[in-house]
Amino acid sequence: MSIASTNINTKFFDSLLNGNRITCSQLIKEQVKQGIDIKDLYENVMKPSLYKIGELWELNKISVATEHLASAIVEAILNELYPHLVTACKKESKAIVLCVENEHHQIGVKMVSDILETNGWHSYFLGANTPIKELIDFAKTTNPDLIAISMSLFFHLPLLEKMIQKISEEMPNTQILVGGQGFRRGGIDVIAKYSNVLYLPNLFEFDQYLKTLPYE
């Protein structure tokens, strides 16, 4: 079941902008009770609202505090939804999920980790600002089937490419997936030259990609 109207989007955004955590949580939980898919709520309700909040901050129409509060509310809701994601059918497939080094916006990549969990994967969610060396060391101990990296800010593209190069050098057979809001401003052509890297623009395509993999 998918979201049929934009009414929920408007209510959620207004509540988020006003810092009303309880209302935001209630709105999302009601959609879950109605059978709305988690991916739909992530992609079509929460992400657009966060993008709008970010744009308002960039235009100096809201404070850093307001932007941080909105992020904290959404992250809290993701934690509330987690019990709905757990599946008893666990695969042997493993993934590392993280943000580009020096980046602190981890909500999008947390959503990616959640989608992995709904597909039965073991997801190692490293979150924000993981140094490249620490990532490589961790990857060598866990031997993941794929590494998913989020880039929320376009000016972090050189850092992302540096991470890709290092992973490719140290673990050439590991699939790398990239995505995030930063790609709205470009960068797809830069990562396209790497044969082991795939750009996925949204959670729906990410979910479909996982379903095509032979991993067990």
Residue 201, helix vs strand vs coil: coil
pLDDT surpassing 80 at residue 87: no
Residue carrying structure tokens 């505090």: 65
pLDDT surpassing 80 at residue 2: no
Tokens found for residue 195: 């044969």
> For position 84, what pLDDT does the model report?
81
Task: Domain ranges for the chain, please list them.
Answer: 7-84, 94-212
Q: Is 4 exposed, middle or buried (0-12, 13-18, 19+ CB in 10 A)?
A: exposed
DSSP E strands: which ranges in 45-100?
94-99
Is residue 81 within 8 Å of residue 28, measured between CB atoms?
yes
> For position 7, what pLDDT does the model report?
86
> For position 163, what pLDDT does the model report?
96
Sheet with 122-127, edge to edge strand ranges: 122-127, 94-99, 146-150, 175-179, 197-199
> For position 90, what pLDDT does the model report?
74
CA distances from 155 to 41, 78, 103, 144, 147 (A): 28, 27, 10, 27, 21
CA distances from 30 to 8, 13, 49, 107, 147 (A): 10, 16, 18, 21, 33
Is residue 73 within 8 Å of residue 125, measured between CB atoms?
no
Please tell me the distance from the alpha carbon of residue 191 to that of residue 55, in angstroms, as a whole number. Answer: 25
> For position 83, what pLDDT does the model report?
87
What CATH number does the domain located at 94-212 have? 3.40.50.280
> For position 32, what pLDDT does the model report?
93
Please tell me the distance from the alpha carbon of residue 213 to that of residue 216, in angstroms, as a whole number. Answer: 9
pLDDT tens-digit series, residues 161-196: 999 999 999 999 999 999 998 998 999 999 999 999
| Average pLDDT of span 15-41 | 95
CATH topology for the 7-84 domain: 1.10.1240
pLDDT tens-digit series, residues 98-153: 999 999 889 999 999 999 999 999 999 999 999 999 999 999 999 999 999 999 98
**Residue 154 CB partners (closer than 8 Å, separation 6+):** 182, 183, 184, 185, 186, 187
| Average pLDDT of span 65-90 | 89
pLDDT surpassing 70 at residue 1: no
pLDDT, mean over the chain: 93
| Beta-bridge partner residues of 147 | 96, 176
From the CB of residue 184, how many other CB atoms can be counted at a distance below 10 Å? 11
From the CB of residue 92, how many other CB atoms can be counted at a distance below 10 Å? 10
